[in-house]
Structures are given as C-alpha cells and as structure tokens.
Structure 1
Amino acid sequence: MTDMELKAYLERARTIAVLGAHKDPLRPAHYVPKYLFEQGYRLLPVNPRFRGEELFGAKVVGSLGEILEPVDILDVFRPPEALMGHLEEVLALRPGMVWLQSGIRHPAFEAALRQAGLLVVADRCLMVEHRRLFSL
C-alpha cells in the first residue's frame, strides 16, 4: 500500500476498534487510541480486563465478537504469540484493515488475513503514520 493509498484510506475511515486498549496513559495502547480519538475517529475499545468501563467515549467490550457494527480499522495491541487466538474473531468481524502496531508481526496471522481479503499493515504505529501522512 502506497502512502497515497494509505492516506486516502485513513481519510475515509471513521470507526477504529482497538484490540488490547488500555487505561494506563503511559502505555501505547492508551495514548495511540487517545490521539486517534482526538483526530475525530470513533473508537471501540476491546479488553476483557476493562469490560464495561469507558475509554475514548465508548464502553469497553471484552471481545471482538461483541462488536456489532462495521469497523474500518482494527488496531491491534497484542503480543504476536496471542494473535492466532484472535484469528476467528477478526475474520468474523471483517474489518476493512487490520493494523498491527509497532513491534507486532506474525507471518501466518498476516497471511491468513490477506488470504481472507483483508488489508494488513504490520509493525507500524498508526499514530506515527497518521501524523506523518497528515503532517501533524
């Protein structure tokens, strides 16, 4: 995906589910989604530890299976070894794009998503890329 294609996708995207969203403001799983929320995206935080609490203007759900609406981007903050455990839920959710944050790569997971027709970005920070592409 070229920078132009990625920027166009980010301009069209409205809803971002955040797998592994966190309450601790010092963790990337908090400050990256917070930045995206401040840029006008609607966030759907997912973390069973915080189910029912509110983050980024929405109630936290415990699993991707609890999301009952279209998702433009699934932003993933989970360790690589946990990804295959989420594969079925991700495929059922069918987000427009799956974004694996910096340091997160899993070739088999990525291949399964691509084989299912999903766009995948791996080992890149969505906040950093958004700032770079929109010169913020």
Structure 2
Amino acid sequence: MLEIPKKYKRLAIVGASHNPDRPSYQVMEYLLKEGFEVVPINPVREEILGKKVYPSLSQLPEELYPEVVIIFRKPEMVLPIVEEALALKPKVIWMQEGVINEEAKKLAEAHGIKVVMNKCFKKVHLIGKKMGQ
C-alpha cells in the first residue's frame, strides 16, 4: 500500500469538495502541494483549488485518465463509481477512511485493479515519506 502514492501520480478524486472543512478538500490540497496531478470529480462544481472539475469519471478526456481513483463517497454509492471507472482502466481504486464496499472491491479486482479500502491516501503518503520512501 505504501508503494501506491510513490508509484502513481495521476489521480482522480471522486467526491471532491470546494469546502475547506471537508476531508476531500484537505486531501486534494495536500496532494497538489506534493506534486500529484489531481482531477476533481463533482457534478455541481466547475473549479476546486484552481483545477477544472469534471461531473463524472466518464466525462474525463483520455489524457486525464487517472492511475488511481480516490473515492470520497458513501459506501452504498461506490459500486456505480467503480463500474464507471473500469472504462478508464485505473491501476488502483482507493476508498478513503470509512468507505468499505466489498462488492465494488470484488468487481475491481476481477478486472485486475488493485483495491484499497478504509484508508486515507494522504496519511499513507505521509507514512511513506516518514519512512523515506
């Protein structure tokens, strides 16, 4: 798991928020400062942290297809997101803390996609940095 933030730099954040009090905003802000390419996905916003927002993964242009799809949505909303993500062929589906969906995990893994559930991408990246990775 520690290798993922080191290896992959093109990310999509599904459920990105414009509200600085929300974890998805804080994680996105951190990742941008750390040099990650981040594409926010939110159906009602046009821009977050200076980045163009796309309403859904399926509306991303091919050059923005992410290596990692980070999901900040309720567990019951994850399966359709993973189904949509399959067409983009990400390397990893990452469900943030509190997000667990076994059905979505099985679907992604059946398509050769690594899955991380119930972990914060930012925290894992910080651990890797502290360990010198």
Q: Settle same-fold status: TM greater than 0.5.
A: yes
2:68 maps to which of 70, 73, 76: 73
- Please tell me whether residue 41 in structure 1 is matched to residue 36 in structure 2: yes
Quote the residue 1:9 is aligned against.
Answer: 4
Quote the residue 2:56 is aligned against.
Answer: 63
Letter in 2 for 1:54: E
1:85 Cα deviation after fit: 2.2
Kept in 1: contact 2:67–2:90 (CA 8 A): yes
Letter in 2 for 1:57: G
Residue 16 of structure 2 aligns to a residue in which SS? coil
Identity %: 30
Quote the residue 1:3 is aligned against.
Answer: none
Kept in 2: contact 1:43–1:56 (CA 8 A): no
- The normalised TM-score by structure 1 is 0.88
**For the residues of structure 2 that align with 1:61 and 1:45, how far apart are their CA atoms?**
6
Quote the residue 1:107 is aligned against.
Answer: 102
Residue 105 of structure 1 aligns to a residue in which SS? coil
Q: 37-46 vs 90-99, which deviates more?
A: 90-99
**For the residues of structure 2 that align with 1:43 and 1:86, how far apart are their CA atoms?**
17
1:33 Cα deviation after fit: 1.1
**For the residues of structure 2 that align with 1:45 and 1:87, how far apart are their CA atoms?**
16
Quote the residue 1:23 is aligned against.
Answer: 18
**For the residues of structure 2 that align with 1:128 and 1:8, how far apart are their CA atoms?**
13
Which portions of structure 1, spanning 4 or more consecutive aligned residues, are displaced by more than 6 angstroms? none
Aligned-residue Cα RMSD (Å) equals: 1.5
Greater RCO between the two (CA within 8 Å, min separation 6)? 2
Unaligned runs of 5+ in 2: none
- The normalised TM-score by structure 2 is 0.90
